Amino acid sequence: MALALMAFLTRATAASRRDLIGRHAILSSSFVVAVVACFAIKIIAVSAVFKVDAFSYFSGGLMHRFCDSIVPEASPRIVQYLALHGVDVARHPVAYLIVTYAHWSKLIGWEARYSGAC
C-alpha cells in the first residue's frame, strides 16, 4: 500500500515525463534496496542470536519454494477446497498462496478488534 501511495505521489508531483521516469527509477531502486536490507538484517540477527549460518541454513528451503512444487507442503484442507473449485495446486501454485493468504488475513482481521487495533 505504501509503495502504491508513493508511486501516486511521484506521478502527481512530476513536472515532465523525463522527471516522472527518473522519480520512478529512484522509487523502484529504493524499494529493492529496502527489501534486500530488511532480509540482510534478519539473517544477521538470526545468525547472531542462534549462532548458526542462517543463510546457508534457510537457503535450501527458499530455493525449494522458488524452484520446486509446493504440493508436499500444502495444507490438505486448502488443496481439497481448491479441488472442489476445479483448481489443481500442482499446475496453479499461486491459487494456493492466495487462498492461504486470505485465510491468515481473515484470522488476523478477526483478532484485531480484541487487541485494540480497530
Q: What is the dihedral of CA 45, 48, 49, 54, to 10 degrees?
A: 70
46 and 84, same domain (yes or no): no
Residue pLDDT, tens place only, 81-114: 888 888 887 777 777 777 777 777 776 666 656 5
Cα angle for residues 20, 23, 28 (degrees, 5° grid):
120
75 and 64, same domain (yes or no): no
Domains in the chain: how many in total?
2
**Can you tell me the distance from the alpha carbon of 97 to that of 77, in angstroms, rounded to the nearest whole number?**
13
- Are 82 and 99 in contact, with CB atoms under 8 Å apart? yes
Residue pLDDT, tens place only, 22-65: 888 888 888 889 888 888 888 888 788 877 776 776 666 666 65
11 and 55, same domain (yes or no): yes
**Domain boundaries, position 37:** 1-68
- What is the three-class DSSP state of 85? coil
- What rounded mean pLDDT belongs to the chain? 75
81 and 49, same domain (yes or no): no
80 and 97, same domain (yes or no): yes
pLDDT at 21 over 60: yes
